[in-house]
């Protein structure tokens, strides 16, 4: 959820959009969101991309996120 929130704050768009919940769910499961605008640093783009990894076991948890040097 945090990755989605960060994505929306940076892009001013939802990472996945559709006319119905089933369409949005299908996109969440099978598609990648568009890249963030280049005005954001590479580390932030990478962090948000990692936070949106589909497999929850491979996403960073809050402890890992808080260890990112740029957030300290």
| Banded model confidence at residue 13, pLDDT cuts 50, 70, 90 | very high
- Residue 15 structural domain: 2-71
Residue 7 is predicted with a pLDDT of 95
Q: How many domains does the chain have?
A: 1
With 90 as the cut, is the pLDDT of residue 72 above it? no
Supply the pLDDT for residue 33: 92
Q: What is the CATH number of the domain that holds 63?
A: 1.10.510.10
Instruction: Tell me what pLDDT residue 1 has.
Output: 85
Task: Encode burial over 23-43: b for 16+ CB neighbours within 10 A, e otherwise.
Answer: eeeebeeeeebeebeeeeeee
Please state whether the predicted TM-score (pTM) of the whole model is above 0.85.
no
Please say whether the beta carbons of 35 and 8 come within 8 A: no
């Amino acid at each position: 959820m945090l990755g989605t929130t960060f994505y929306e704050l940076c892009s001013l768009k939802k990472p996945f959009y559709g006319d119905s919940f089933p369409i949005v769910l299908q996109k969440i499961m099978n598609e990648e969101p568009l890249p963030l605008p280049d005005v954001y640093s590479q580390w932030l783009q990478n962090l948000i991309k990692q936070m949106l990894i589909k497999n929850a076991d491979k996403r960073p948890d809050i402890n890992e996120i808080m260890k990112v040097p740029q957030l300290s």
